[in-house]
Amino acid sequence: MTKTVITYGTFDLFHVGHVRLLKRLSKLGDRLVVGCSTDQFNELKGKRTIMSYEQRKEVLESCRYVDGVFPESNWEQKREDVLREEASIFAMGDDWVGKFDELSDIVEVIYLPRTQDISTTEIKELVASVKQDKKQELLNVCDHLMALATRL
Spell out the SS3 assignment of the chain. CCCEEEEEECCCCCCHHHHHHHHHHHCCCCEEEEEEECHHHHHHHCCCCCCCHHHHHHHHHHCCCCCEEEEECCHHHHHHHHHHHCEEEEEEEHHHCCCCHHHHHCCEEEEECCCCCCCHHHHHHHHHHHHHHHHHHHHHHHHHHHHHHHHC
Residue 123 has pLDDT above 60, yes or no: no
Domain assignment of residue 129, given as a range: 119-152
Is there a single domain that holds both residue 111 and residue 123?
A: no
Is there a single domain that holds both residue 129 and residue 80?
A: no
Catalytic residues: 45, 47
Is there a single domain that holds both residue 98 and residue 127?
A: no
- pTM (2 decimals)? 0.77
Is there a single domain that holds both residue 43 and residue 59?
A: yes
Is there a single domain that holds both residue 76 and residue 125?
A: no
Find the mean pLDDT for residues 69-93.
97
Is there a single domain that holds both residue 27 and residue 53?
A: yes
pLDDT in tens, 15-25: 888 899 999 99
